[in-house]
A and B are shown apart, each in its own frame.
Chain A
Amino acid sequence: MKKDFRVQYPLWQMAFIVMFGFLAFSVTSATTELINSTDEFSYSFELAGFESLLLFGSISLTFILGAIFASKIAKHNKQHLTQKLTMWQIRPLEFLEQDEGMTHITRKAAQKVYTFFVWALPVLTAIYLVFELSRFWMIFGILILALMQYIIYYLEIRKYLREVED
């Protein structure tokens, strides 16, 4: 069960969030120029060596991860013909709802994440209100919340499954 794709899905999301963090860092570190006048509109940005390495490295890794991720979904769908997943479904892929017991642990984990957001969102809003932060740090704050969401969810589900599988 611990190897079920739906259980491991938060780990994939965490990896994609980290990749997006690198991408955001490299783009926000770039020298940007915006021209928006009556007869011209242009946007350009210039990357230094390190930032361009980060940008292309993170994009390449995201594509590689995306390909492995898609193959994992295909493998899951082959093994679970009645519980197929798609990358584009609205309902989170990590929800375990095969029966009432699995729905119960999903609800417990989702409640913990909800509680986290009840506190974290006002705190983050207050930080943004008090401090004048750059674009990168604002994105970084949101990515940390997203990362925490998946860490909390994953650890809670794992706690229940470890108890019954050890």
Chain B
Amino acid sequence: MEKSLNPDDGRSQNSIPQLIKSIWVIGNLHLQRRYCGSWLGAAWSWMHPVVHLLVLWIVFSNLFPAFENYFIYLASGLLPWIFFSQGIQTCSTVLVSNRNIFISSPVSYETHVLGTLTGEVLHFLVAFLLLILSVPLLGIPLGWHLLAVPLFLLNLILFTFSWAVIISFLTPIYRDISHFLTLFFTFGFWLMPIVYHWSNLPPPYKYIVKYNPLTLIISPFQIILHGGVVPNPHLIIISYLTVFTSIWLAWYVKRQLGKKIIYHL
């Protein structure tokens, strides 16, 4: 009979299956809402990455003519990057924009953050599946190494979920964050080895690019799809450690801010 309350913020905790259903419904309706009334519907969400990809491919394939299968290298880095940056930017304002819900119902904050991100995950997975299917058409043979893709997809999704929670909890308190994110992602894109390979850079920049946490999450896709091999164990371990650190950080931020966040909405 005693209502189960979350010890971190006093909000209700549904059972895990109920939580998953709520997240799925919020994500699904979030997508339907975004494209209802538009002619192309959900296809608009693939238009952005496709156009972005084509523009970068046309420009940089001419700059790096010796780069073999450049399209696959570019696409396998760009799609995860777009998923991460769009997911974080969309989730950054979830708590603020749903204020009316949170002040009138003891529902957990994470349900809304994860629900909103679920829509982005679905789009990304469809786009990434299309990329994998196009790999043999572009001359790279399929192989057992592709079985490692789900492992790193899970890594990327958990990493993005963690940072979505962190940013969405910080934004109500520090409102500049949503503006800062736009700048960060514009700048951050060029710090990622997406359009170029990190080995082309001179030493000080090479290490910054190679060891930035996002590179550790995104570059395994380039290694698998473009390189045709499974990333080495060293990269797998560091990549997973990065994700576990992000999950811990998200849990810590939620624990620290969970109680006061409602007064900032």
Q: Do A and B bind each other?
A: no
List residues of B whose CB falls within 8 A of some A CB.
none
| Chain A contacts to B: CB under 8 angstroms | none
